[in-house]
């Protein structure tokens, strides 16, 4: 099992890919959409705002509103996805990753992954 800090760092790396886009494209594409990742084996949920591109990944508190895009995966899967994001479809089909989002957000998510 991977630690919570390793998962947070992996998610920060994944979200950091957005900084490769120009600020205008990033804002047009993601706007102010939020994404959270729940890691059940660690009992933690992390969140970030996608449009900023450099928004830190933070732990979600009990009163925080739900994110626009919600992903659930075990810690090892989170780290694996950050290393090889193209495998998310395979992980989703295998049931290792659960994604709750609108269709429009799913298409947006493809840009990140």
**Which domains are delineated in the chain?**
4-112 (3.30.1050.10)
Q: What is the pLDDT along the chain (113 residues), one digit of tens a residue?
A: 689 999 999 888 887 777 677 777 777 777 788 889 999 999 999 998 877 666 889 999 889 999 998 999 999 999 988 887 667 778 888 899 999 988 888 777 766 66
CA separation for the pair 29, 87 (Å, rounded): 22
Please tell me the predicted confidence (pLDDT) of residue 67.
93
Are 73 and 39 in contact by the 8 Å Cβ rule? The answer is: yes
- The predicted model scores a pTM of 0.86
Predicted local confidence at residue 111, as pLDDT: 61
Is residue 86 classed exposed, middle or buried when 0-12, 13-18 and 19+ CB atoms within 10 A define those classes? exposed
Residue 35 near residue 65, CB atoms below 8 Å? no
Output the pLDDT for position 52. 66
Look at residue 74 in the predicted model and tell me its pLDDT.
94
């Amino acid at each position: 099992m991977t630690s919570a800090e390793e998962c947070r760092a992996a998610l920060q790396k994944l979200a950091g890919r957005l900084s490769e886009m120009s600020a205008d494209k990033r804002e047009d594409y993601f706007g102010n959409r939020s994404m959270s990742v729940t890691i059940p084996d660690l009992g933690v949920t992390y969140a970030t705002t996608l449009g900023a591109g450099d928004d830190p990944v933070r732990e979600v508190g009990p009163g925080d509103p739900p994110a626009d895009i919600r992903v659930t995966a075990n810690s090892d899967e989170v780290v694996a996805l950050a290393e090889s994001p193209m495998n998310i479809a395979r992980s989703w089909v295998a049931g290792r990753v659960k994604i709750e989002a609108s269709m429009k957000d799913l298409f947006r998510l493809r840009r990140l992954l």
